[in-house]
Amino acid sequence: MRAKRLMITALAWSVPLSLLLLAAPAGAEPCFTAAVVSVHDGDTFDVKRPGGALVTIRLNHIDTPELEARDRHGKLRWPDQPRSREAANALWWLAWGETVRVCPEFKSYGRTGAAVFLRGRDLALPLAEAGWGWVNCRATCPKVREAMERARAARRGLWADPAPCEPAKWRKGGCK
C-alpha cells in the first residue's frame, strides 16, 4: 500500500515538474521574422516586425568592437574602438534590408538578445569568419568559435592588429 502511494505521489509531481523544466526562459518569446532596417554597430541592429513594431536586437554569439559611446549629458564614455567601423559596415552589408529570423533569448539594456538567422545561417557566423568579433558563447556555438579561430590564424579583420582588445575591456578603459 505504501509503495502504491509513493508511486501515485511521484506521478502527480512528474507532470507539473516536467512542464516547468520544458518551459521557455523567463521573458523569452517565440521566434519571428522581421526586416533589418538599421545597424547601430557590429552586433546591434533594428528590425521591423510585420506589424510595424521596431525591435533593437543584440546579436548573440559574437561581440564586436565598440563604437564611440556618450552618456546622456554628451560626455564621452569611450572612443571608437579600432576596427569598430569596419565591423559595423560588415553587418550592414550582410543584413541591411534583409529578412531575418529572430529567436529571442533575453532582454538587456532595452535590447533583445537573440540568435539571428539569415537564409538559415547564424548571422554571427559570417562576422566571425571575416574576423570582426570575439565569440561570446561556450558550447552552444562551436561553428562560430571555429570560424573565429580560423580568422585569427589567418589574421583577418580585427585579428590583423597586433593586440586586439576585447570590447568588455575597452568599455572599462583598458587596452588603449
> Does residue 44 lie in a domain region?
yes
Work out the average pLDDT over 159-174: 89
| Separation CA 31–CA 117 (nearest Å) | 10
What pLDDT digit, counting tens, does each position of 146-155 carry?
999 999 999 9
Residue 157 predicted with pLDDT over 90: yes
Residue 5 predicted with pLDDT over 80: no
> Does residue 63 lie in a domain region?
yes
> Does residue 98 lie in a domain region?
yes
For position 65, which CATH number holds? Answer: 2.40.50.90
Phi, psi of 94 (to 5 degrees): -75, -45
Confidence of residue 1 (pLDDT cuts 50, 70, 90): low
Q: What angle do CA 110, 116, 120 make, to 5 degrees?
A: 165
| Separation CA 149–CA 161 (nearest Å) | 15
> Does residue 1 lie in a domain region?
no
Sequence-separated (6 or more) residues with CB below 8 Å from residue 70: 76, 77
What pLDDT digit, counting tens, does each position of 103-147 carry?
999 888 888 999 999 999 999 999 999 999 999 876 568 899 999
**pLDDT top residue among 71 and 23:** 71
Containing structural domain, residue 81: 24-171
| Separation CA 165–CA 176 (nearest Å) | 8
CB 78 within 8 A of CB 127: no
> Does residue 9 lie in a domain region?
no
> Does residue 151 lie in a domain region?
yes
> Does residue 176 lie in a domain region?
no
> Does residue 143 lie in a domain region?
yes
The share of the chain scoring above pLDDT 90, in percent, equals: 62
Position 78 scores a pLDDT of: 85
Characterise 77 by phi-psi region: left (phi > 0), alpha (psi -120 to 50), beta (else): alpha
Domain count, the chain: 1
